[in-house]
Chain A
């Protein structure tokens, strides 16, 4: 991507780029015993997931608990949440580049690396959900038959892969320049960063359009879905990054993380309220209006005809989200000695969003079914294994990416 900028008198990029990659790989696999234990654990979990997926492909998706009534389950729930996590990283990019927050600028790469890991997980969840992954090439533009622009899924393929490439380019360029010991040329990354801000919004908007464009599914068929997706993304993304930065403060020598943590906390303080407001608005519309459209919401919150499979999930999510919101609203949360409380608030907001936007959004879309059957769904062990495996892989990608970026992050605070 950067080879065209090579001036004639500098050493060839063709020689230095592989050296950069080799050095990054070496660097990323160096670490303490704790690091090796962490990576071994993730590898083991990933292998369990890979094996479960291989069994699913070999035996058919009968190994999942999905049915013709509830035809999407845990995989698509996680996919939807992951798109939000990927988009959430932009909440570091906006202060850094639009508001010229110096401290945030120094560590903004954390958000971009999270986007890469989250998108990789998105793509893996989609593949895990396919009945025929061997026919994946049918989706490739040019090679297969791409139903663009009518199918929203083709839009999603474009925006997700585009976002992945954008972030790979931005991070790759900055790290490579640092490897060469040169000052990054803004021409080669700032326009891409600006584009990535718009693009982050687009990935979650398009993903919401996948669902809200379906007239036959009243639970999803609401104009509020895309804004809700964005609001919750701007809770889960920053929450994850705050926890990452608190851990980095403990485990690495990276300095200057306190101010970015404070900035992100202030962002979550607002977004978590907007998200709750939108949930309340949606619930009012559903329940006050009543009628057939409210069946899914009734099922989600109170159960329908004695079927209450999602009720514990959804009330857990509400409890976590409201508690997290209260904690975030408390000004004392940022006290340095209360880091554990900040981390707990972030974990609560993260898990709450994961339920609300995962199982709490996808499953009620199918219950009751379009012919008003009530067939419940709870993920099978196989589905959990595959899901854990993909999460483990994503965390591996994220850990390695952060390790690769550590010298850059440390260099920043030497300036």
Chain B
């Protein structure tokens, strides 16, 4: 490398004035302009992404900081977008926790036969991407005689139940000490008063730290824009649950809060043909689930991690 501007007097600040300074400056300027133009051309696909994001969405505040008017505007905009992008008429509610409610779930592993109806129901209810066949539930086929998930398989096929197997459905455990909430750098996910851990899909930055932190593989990332045919879109939606998620954000099971906060049961429970699933308000002393937790020998997954799940398993 040559040194064209070795200052003869290093004590004095000088711009390198050399004979052909202006010519060199013009050449450098020319190349800089060329580089800038090439850069603009290289990132031109971003324009496509920008078209898909409205100014309102870009500027939108965190869910917990929206005024009722802003919330109404946001929901109207989202309903509009569902119409535009998916051709579906949807209603997006803003379902809040019912005071005095703490939802818990339990599954009877003696009864579950691994038929997978819950997985399918979740897929439809929550407007999951059709192509990837996404669902919030994974069922693990386990050999009898072990509780070690390493022995299990989530990709089992064939007729169920098999004699030497039992079936362990896993979905979000709605932990009381959720590691996924702790790690989120922008508070895009939090635990609500009824115990449900939710995500503000319009605030999540898509870093996927929560996916790394969750010990139950309960979180999913939208690697692409979900595709659902208009006639298959479930129109009964809620802002914090099953509305069609944007690309590039994380989502998760919400115990179907758009149903359960309206007094209905989760879709996976309604779809279960065996009656293995029990759902309810643990604070209600008369509830089924309360009786069950008091009288059955229940266990929780990965208890040693201290996540305190609100999801229980038991055998008869």
Contact = CB atoms under 8 A, between A and B. Distances in A.
29 contacts: A23-B13, A26-B15, A29-B28, A30-B3, A31-B1, A35-B1, A47-B39, A50-B43, A53-B43, A57-B46, A57-B49, A58-B46, A71-B212, A71-B221, A126-B207, A131-B221, A135-B203, A135-B204, A138-B205, A145-B187, A147-B186, A153-B183, A153-B209, A214-B179, A215-B306, A292-B150, A295-B150, A368-B150, A403-B1
A370 B205 contact: no
With most chain A CB atoms within 10 A of its CB, the pick from B16, B152, B213, B249 is B213
With most chain A CB atoms within 10 A of its CB, the pick from B148, B215, B219, B223 is B223
Given A26-B5, A292-B150, A368-B150, A20 B13 contact: yes
Contacts of B2: 30-32
A372 B149 contact: yes
Given A62-B224, A71-B212, A134-B58, A151 B205 contact: no
Q: Chain B contact residues: over half helix, strand or loop, or mixed?
A: loop
Interface in B178-213: 179, 182-188, 203-209, 211-213
Contact of A130 (B182, B205, B220): B205
A139 to B, nearest CB: 6
B144 interface: no
B66 interface: no
Contacts of B220: 68
Interface in A8-51: 16, 19-20, 22-23, 26-27, 29-32, 34-35, 43, 47-48, 50-51
Nearest to B183: A151
A169 to B, nearest CB: 20
A135 B206 CA distance: 9
A71 B222 CA distance: 11
Interface in B1-60: 1-7, 10-16, 28, 35, 38-39, 42-46, 48-50, 53, 58
A40 to B, nearest CB: 9
Given A43-B35, A72-B208, A372-B150, A139 B185 contact: yes
Interface in B249-263: 249-250
B280 interface: no
Interface of A: 16, 19-20, 22-23, 26-27, 29-32, 34-35, 43, 47-48, 50-51, 53-55, 57-62, 64, 66-69, 71-72, 126, 129-136, 138-139, 144-147, 150-154, 157, 178-181, 210-211, 214-217, 251-253, 292, 295, 365-366, 368-373, 403, 406-407, 411
Contact of B16 (A23, A144, A216): A23
Contacts of B224: 59-62
Nearest to A36: B31
A71 B42 contact: no
A184 B195 CA distance: 59
Contacts of B154: 371, 373
B15 A23 contact: yes
Given A146-B185, A370-B217, A407-B10, A47 B15 contact: no
A55 B45 contact: yes
A16 B276 CA distance: 77
Given A58-B45, A370-B216, A131 B138 contact: no
Interface of B: 1-7, 10-16, 28, 35, 38-39, 42-46, 48-50, 53, 58, 62, 138, 140, 148-150, 152, 154-155, 170, 179, 182-188, 203-209, 211-217, 219-225, 246-250, 302, 305-307
Q: Chain A contact residues: over half helix, strand or loop, or mixed?
A: helix
Contacts of B204: 131-132, 135
A23 B150 CA distance: 63
Given A180-B13, A215-B306, A132 B221 contact: no
Contact of B223 (A60, A144, A292): A60
Given A72-B212, A138-B188, A54 B44 contact: yes
B186 A217 contact: no
Contacts of B44: 54
A134 B16 contact: no
Contacts of A368: 150
Contacts of B38: 43, 47
A373 B155 CA distance: 9
Contacts of A157: 185
B198 to A, nearest CB: 15
A62 B42 contact: no
